[in-house]
Amino acid sequence: MTHAVIVGAGPVGMVTAMLLAADGYRVSVLDRDPAESRDASASVRGHWRRPGVGQFGHTHVLLPAGLAHLKRELPNAVARLTELGGRRHNMISGAWNVGAVGDREPADDRFDTIAARRPVLEAALFAEVSRTPGVSVRCGIRVTGLLTDDGRTPGTPHVTGVLTDDGEQIEADLVIDASGRNSRLLALLHDVGATPIERRAQVGFRYYTRYFRSDVLPTLPTWPLTHHESVSVIALPGDNDTWSVTLVTSGRDQDLRLLSSPDAWHRAVALFPNVAHLAEGEPISGVNAMGGTESKFRRFVVDGKPIVTGLFAVGDAWATTNPQFGKGMTVGFAHAALLRDTLRVTGSDDPIDLALQFNAVSEASLTPVWEETALWDSHRFAEIDAEMRGEAYVTDDPAWHLDVAVNAIHLLDPEILRAHADVGCMLAGVDEAVLKTGLAERILSLATGAPRYAEPGPTRRELLAATTG
């Protein structure tokens, strides 16, 4: 039986484990965080301790495409999430009957997801993976090195297992790195003579999240993410009568770092009419702040040749995108399925072929998502930089103008709203939803003269005044 070792029991590591076990693999999942951090009832009560994942206390949404994936592949995990209090939520429900959108349509079911805080989502996956035949999950174990066999693929290190912090050597036919955005993989590969390529953005966004609860869920905004002068705002429901509000700034914006103080955060949120009422519930967390979220992208095939075999990175260990779009888990689940599908076709007997095939399908399916998000990021950082200098941002990139336009006017036309939601929920790409349907011209024409931002909000000057009190 083929043995796969998965480094990391985050959402992507756990989904990868369950997919491979269903195909008959023996899977060992190793995670450095202790088992107590996965207790389901503690997660629901908000008692979270998960040092291995910096974003644990931040807003997470499983996009409808990610939920569809789980329903198809791992329906028991979805049932478990609902049992733990995950709440059915339609991503455009806040827009029904607003503006020119009209009533709910039957096909709007495709925008359904299950809202849950990240710890609760993880607890559901953990409960499922722990009872999956063929999978053993060991917590409190850190992978500190790679075992290699230099004879298997001459000239290219071939990974045959891992070394743990207590000195154990675990042999494997496949090693899968699912150890997240701060994976130590590059350093470990360096130690065995392999140098993957890493591209990383110079700056990332900074997140300030607070959770609330109330017996009645307040009205949600028409779309969870809205952009404003120098900040973006995310408001999302969670499980068990909870919700969160997050302010997103540029990592370069030192002045707005005051938002990590609850008083400053509340004064700031009060200036955004579409979410101000959401900060009036019972707070169930402090303001969780996180920076260091630069997008990263790692490649293990260089100039058409694998730099390592026997080892595959999935999820955030392979690439991270701007978290405000909530794509990370959905991309990671798709990546796990790509690995499983490649193994089905290629098998693991020819490690070079397997490395090349997995690289090829990852590049074809997922790299475009990364490129598109990275392009958006570079415009948004430039726009925020310009606002910080008191200037207007000017670019002639049509992709940015189309994105700004659709954000500004999506409530003016039901078809445009749904195309916008198809892209936002990862159910379709911009090409398919907007360009090929001929909607782009209508969007640009409706947006002529429309305000830059769809929702009212403070100017930067007003925001700075509020945060400093």
Ligand X SMILES: Cc1cc2nc3c(=O)[nH]c(=O)nc-3n(C[C@H](O)[C@H](O)[C@H](O)COP(=O)(O)OP(=O)(O)OC[C@H]3O[C@@H](n4cnc5c(N)ncnc54)[C@H](O)[C@@H]3O)c2cc1C
CA distance 346 to 156: 19
Question: Which H/E stretch holds residue 245?
Answer: strand 242-250
Q: How far is CA 327 from CA 27, 61, 256, 288, 358, in A?
A: 26, 8, 25, 20, 20
Q: Which is nearer to ligand X, 8 or 310 (CB)?
A: 8
Secondary structure class of 18 (helix, strand, coil): helix
Provide, rounded to whole angstroms, the least separation between the CB of residue 17 and ligand X: 11
Q: Which is nearer to ligand X, 291 or 429 (CB)?
A: 291
Judge whether 85 and 116 are in contact, CB under 8 Å. yes
Secondary structure class of 142 (helix, strand, coil): coil
Q: Which is nearer to ligand X, 314 or 447 (CB)?
A: 314
Q: Which is nearer to ligand X, 7 or 408 (CB)?
A: 7
Residue 284 backbone dihedrals phi, psi, to 5 degrees? -120, 10
Secondary structure class of 163 (helix, strand, coil): strand
Provide, rounded to whole angstroms, the least separation between the CB of residue 247 and ligand X: 12
Q: Which residue has the tokens 């260990």?
A: 317
Question: Which H/E stretch holds residue 125?
Answer: helix 118-130
Q: The tokens of 268 are what?
A: 């700031």
Provide, rounded to whole angstroms, the least separation between the CB of residue 330 and ligand X: 5
Judge whether 259 and 265 are in contact, CB under 8 Å. yes
Q: Which is nearer to ligand X, 207 or 272 (CB)?
A: 207
Whole-angstrom Cα Rg for the chain: 22
Provide, rounded to whole angstroms, the least separation between the CB of residue 162 and ligand X: 8
Q: Which is nearer to ligand X, 178 or 247 (CB)?
A: 178
DSSP-assigned beta bridge partners for residue 260: none
Provide, rounded to whole angstroms, the least separation between the CB of residue 396 and ligand X: 31
Provide, rounded to whole angstroms, the least separation between the CB of residue 292 and ligand X: 8
Provide, rounded to whole angstroms, the least separation between the CB of residue 88 and ligand X: 17
Q: Which residue has the tokens 């609860």?
A: 213
- Binding residues for ligand X, per CB under 6 A? 7-13, 30-33, 52-53, 55, 58-61, 142-143, 178-181, 184, 207, 290, 293, 315-317, 323, 326-330, 332
Provide, rounded to whole angstroms, the least separation between the CB of residue 299 and ligand X: 17
Q: Which is nearer to ligand X, 181 or 410 (CB)?
A: 181
Q: Which is nearer to ligand X, 178 or 440 (CB)?
A: 178
Secondary structure class of 190 (helix, strand, coil): helix
CA distance 321 to 295: 5
